[in-house]
């Protein structure tokens, strides 16, 4: 946790502007950091950085360790001499306000492959020393990731349980044959991760030079179709064919009357405990090379999680099962020391969950959009009840934008009735002493004025955008994770206003 009052913006790199269809780690990322520094912000919060797959969700990735290849900057590869300016001179006419993942991936991946060929030519006798250092340091996950991704390509993108027996069940002879057959492709995926880490760590260094710290995100679960589940089957509740016996989710809540059936396989915590939670320790160590602090997604799942039989179509018929609780965090602390983390303690939170968070000394989250309605935790979210050791958000990536929340029709975003929505908005306006005409700035001011040590607001709220700019609607699989902004949105007026508010409430560095 920062020792002083701090504030910042929530924005995933995919939402950055740029010419290549998806935000990346090139010049626009550095421009964003300059904007943060110039306005007195000291925090940049992002979503998980993993290699996304079907659905494009950063919470359902092909690896819990590897970075997203689609974030690699082509312009920085030109700077390295691995692509020519002509290679990227005429990109397709991509949409500027959203990511068309299919089009962007189809454009970028051949160029990454071309840069790899140039990389091999440039270092014909021996790759640069930092490539070998990276490969050796990360071999514990990189070897499985590169083989898994290559096998997935060789099987036309099929889920690993649909591969032939030798590959799906990791028979030694079969894997040896595949490694020989796919050697070139395996080397390519190692190169991709090398470039991602290299570019990200350069951006992280720039952040530090500007006084910006990065808040990352560790999803509590991993995707079934991932290198980790394929390579560590005994640590998950799977049947003999590798399919989940039970899956993760949450019971009916604020967002959905039938709950959320995420579909991730559930850990065999007993097996992980026998191995000293080493997989988790490795996961934390890798994440903290990339970021300065992490948000622990679905923190309550570490105390008790909602287990749904895999055959159930919704999350209604599940049960609560005890998680590893303090034992996991003690193992991580023994290996890595005290780590700065924020507990995402939203949803159905019991005294046991609160006790675990307090034992660990972690700040919880306070969501202003949920402070004025009938959520059981609403009183805690109201600023006059905030505590210093917490992080206040106008909203998260799972919420509507603040303007969208204030103007949306009942039943379109949450399970609230029309009467409940009317009462919620009426109370919010009374609390704010506002007519709601600038509800987004009202909420930003409220967050900045809180005693909470950390205040975060999505960039969409800074820009005053509506529901069209929403990042994710929980419980849905289509249309999410696409929003992007354009540079002309960050006007001098917005910059001046944010700077002044940040100074007024003493959050500037």
- Looking at residue 413, its pLDDT comes to 58
- Looking at residue 254, its pLDDT comes to 67
Q: What is the pLDDT of residues 430-443, one digit of tens each?
A: 999 999 999 999 99
The catalytic residue positions are: 297, 344, 398
- Mean of all residue pLDDT scores within the chain: 96
Quick one: tokens of 148?
């898994």
Q: Are 507 and 7 in contact (CB under 8 A)?
A: yes
Residue 277 has pLDDT above 90, yes or no: yes
Q: What is the pLDDT of residues 390-404, one digit of tens each?
A: 999 999 999 999 999
- Looking at residue 348, its pLDDT comes to 84
Quick one: tokens of 91?
């990109």
From 314, 165, 301, 309, select the one nearest 242 (Cα to Cα).
165
List Cβ neighbours of 79 (8 Å cut-off, separation of 6 or more). Answer: none
- CA distances from residue 144 to 109, 184, 235, 410 in whole angstroms, order as listed: 20, 15, 15, 47
Q: Are 38 and 74 in contact (CB under 8 A)?
A: no
Angle at alpha carbon of residue 173, lines to 168 and 178, rounded to 5°: 65
- Looking at residue 478, its pLDDT comes to 85
Classify residue 105 by burial, with Cβ atoms within 10 Å: 0-12, 13-18, 19+: middle
Tell me the C-alpha distance between 7 and 486, whole Å. 22
Q: What is the pLDDT of residues 26-47, one digit of tens each?
A: 999 999 999 999 999 999 999 9
Angle at alpha carbon of residue 472, lines to 471 and 475, rounded to 5°: 175
- Looking at residue 412, its pLDDT comes to 61
Q: How confident is the model at residue 410 (pLDDT cuts 50, 70, 90)?
A: confident
For 321, the enclosing helix (H) or strand (E) is strand 319-322
- Looking at residue 62, its pLDDT comes to 98
- Looking at residue 1, its pLDDT comes to 53
Residue 354 has pLDDT above 60, yes or no: yes
What's this model's pTM, rounded to 2 decimal places? 0.96
Residue 3 has pLDDT above 90, yes or no: no
Q: What is the pLDDT of residues 170-204, one digit of tens each?
A: 999 999 999 999 999 999 999 999 999 999 999 99
Q: What is the mean pLDDT of residues 246-271?
A: 90
Tell me the C-alpha distance between 310 and 263, whole Å. 8
Lowest model confidence (mean pLDDT) among 36-45, 48-57, 253-262, 491-500: 253-262
Q: What is the pLDDT of residues 422-480, one digit of tens each?
A: 999 999 999 999 999 999 999 999 999 999 999 999 999 999 999 999 999 987 888 99
- Looking at residue 414, its pLDDT comes to 62
- Looking at residue 409, its pLDDT comes to 82
Q: What is the pLDDT of residues 147-162, one digit of tens each?
A: 999 999 999 999 999 9
- Taken as a whole, the chain contains a residue count of 509
List Cβ neighbours of 486 (8 Å cut-off, separation of 6 or more). Answer: 17, 96, 97
Q: What is the mean pLDDT of residues 299-322?
A: 96
């Amino acid at each position: 946790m920062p020792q002083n009052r701090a504030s910042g913006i929530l924005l995933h790199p995919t939402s950055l502007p740029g010419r290549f269809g998806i935000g990346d780690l090139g010049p626009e990322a550095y421009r964003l950091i300059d904007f943060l520094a110039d306005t007195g912000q000291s925090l940049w919060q992002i979503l998980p950085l993993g290699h996304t797959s079907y659905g494009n969700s950063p919470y359902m990735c092909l690896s819990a360790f590897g970075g997203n290849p689609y974030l690699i900057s082509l312009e920085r590869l030109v700077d390295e001499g691995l692509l020519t300016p002509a290679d990227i001179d005429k990109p397709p006419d991509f949409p500027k306000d959203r990511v068309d993942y299919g089009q962007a991936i189809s454009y970028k991946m051949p160029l990454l492959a071309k840069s790899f060929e140039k990389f091999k030519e440039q270092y014909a006798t021996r790759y640069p020393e930092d490539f070998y250092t990276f490969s050796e340091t990360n071999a514990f996950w990189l070897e499985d990731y590169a083989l898994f991704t290559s096998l997935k390509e060789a099987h036309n993108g099929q889920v690993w349980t649909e591969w032939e027996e030798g590959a799906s069940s990791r028979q030694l002879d079969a894997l040896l044959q595949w490694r020989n057959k796919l050697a070139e492709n395996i080397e390519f995926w190692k190169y991709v991760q090398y470039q991602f880490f290299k570019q990200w760590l350069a951006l992280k260094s720039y952040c530090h030079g500007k006084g910006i710290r990065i808040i990352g995100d560790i999803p509590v679960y991993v995707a079934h179709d991932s290198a980790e589940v394929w390579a560590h089957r005994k640590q998950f509740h799977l049947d003999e064919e590798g399919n989940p016996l039970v899956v993760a989710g949450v019971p009916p809540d604020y967002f959905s009357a039938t709950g959320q059936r995420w579909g991730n396989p559930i850990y065999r915590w007993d097996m992980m405990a026998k191995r000293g939670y080493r997989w988790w320790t490795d996961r934390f160590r890798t994440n903290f090379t990339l970021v300065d602090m992490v948000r622990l997604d679905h923190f309550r799942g570490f105390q008790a999680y909602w287990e749904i039989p895999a055959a159930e179509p919704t999350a209604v018929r599940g049960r609560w099962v005890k998680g590893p609780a303090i034992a996991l965090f003690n193992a991580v602390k023994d290996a890595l020391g005290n780590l700065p983390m924020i507990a995402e303690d939203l949803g159905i939170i019991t005294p046991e969950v609160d006790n675990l968070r307090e034992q660990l000394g972690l700040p919880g989250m306070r969501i202003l959009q949920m402070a004025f309605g009938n959520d059981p935790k609403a009183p805690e979210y109201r600023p006059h009840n905030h505590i210093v050791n917490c992080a206040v958000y106008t909203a998260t990536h799972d919420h509507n934008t603040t303007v969208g929340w204030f103007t949306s029709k009942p039943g379109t975003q949450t399970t609230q009735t029309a009467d409940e929505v009317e009462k919620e908005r009426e109370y919010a306006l009374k609390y704010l002493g506002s007519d709601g005409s600038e509800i987004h700035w009202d909420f930003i001011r409220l967050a900045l004025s809180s005693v909470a040590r950390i205040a975060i607001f999505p960039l969409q709220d800074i820009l005053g955008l509506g529901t069209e700019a929403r990042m994710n609607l929980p419980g849905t699989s289509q249309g999410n994770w696409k929003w992007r902004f354009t540079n002309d949105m960050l006007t001098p007026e917005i910059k001046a206003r944010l700077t002044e508010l940040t100074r007024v409430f003493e959050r500037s560095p």
